[in-house]
Amino acid sequence: MDDLEIADVTFKRPTDDPDIQVKVESVIEYPQDSTIQNVLNKIRIRADAGIIKYNTSMIGNGGDLFYWLDHVQQELMDATNYIERIIQELERIKEDDLRKLQALDPKKVRFAGVTRLLRKWRT
């Protein structure tokens, strides 16, 4: 009987039959971590939307491995576009901030953090 390992946690199979699926549900709640809570909520909402849109769950969809790989590839290409857009925006913000900082006189700036930025970006 093979045990099931997920994220460095081993779950004992309740049976020797390898065809029996083991359902693992998280029993940990994350009230102290709003980031994890937000991600979990978004996953639930997205799953619900997918079931409504496609009238089936991912388990109920009979796509083969190539079907799923194609979907992953499309999603990753979209993610790459999103990342590029964010990089462009951050570069624009950095250039604007750099111009503003370069216009300042470090001797007149009283905030240590801004002074460090000026020294860093002027080099």
pLDDT in tens, 90-123: 888 888 877 777 777 666 656 656 666 666 665 5
Say if CB 20 and CB 13 are below 8 A apart.
Answer: yes
**pTM for this model (two decimals):** 0.48
pLDDT in tens, 52-105: 888 888 888 888 899 999 999 999 999 999 999 999 988 888 888 777 777 776
**Lowest mean pLDDT: which of 17-21, 40-44, 90-94?**
17-21
Say if CB 106 and CB 119 are below 8 A apart.
Answer: yes
Confidence of residue 1 (pLDDT cuts 50, 70, 90): very low
